[in-house]
Structure 1
Amino acid sequence: MALVLLLSVPASAAELRGEVVGLSDGDTLTVPTTDRQQVRVRLAEIDVPESRQP
């Protein structure tokens, strides 16, 4: 049943180009778009310390 649910969810990806203007945690960053909106991007499958971790 779990396999059926995983296969039924469409995967999507988008390309985002820009300058990083902020870091929330080790794996979360903020990038402005061309229409001046700020997008928070979370990087997947990386192992970095969180903001309060040594």
Structure 2
Amino acid sequence: MQCLREGRTTVGYPVDHIIALADGGTDDDDNKETLCQPCHDAKSAREARQRA
């Protein structure tokens, strides 16, 4: 989980694609992780900006 990599323990809820499907990621389990909602929202916003 991203939060754990940053030293925070939080409840993960949304299952997120590590590499977004829109960026060529797969639906395989090894391309998924749970994120807390703030991390999920921030990652989604970054990905949307990068695609724009």
Q: TM-score, normalised by structure 1?
A: 0.28
Kindly indicate whether structure 1 or structure 2 has the higher relative contact order, using CA contacts under 8 Å at least 6 residues apart: 2
TM-score, structure 2 normalization = 0.29
Question: Is the strand fraction higher in 1 or 2?
Answer: 1
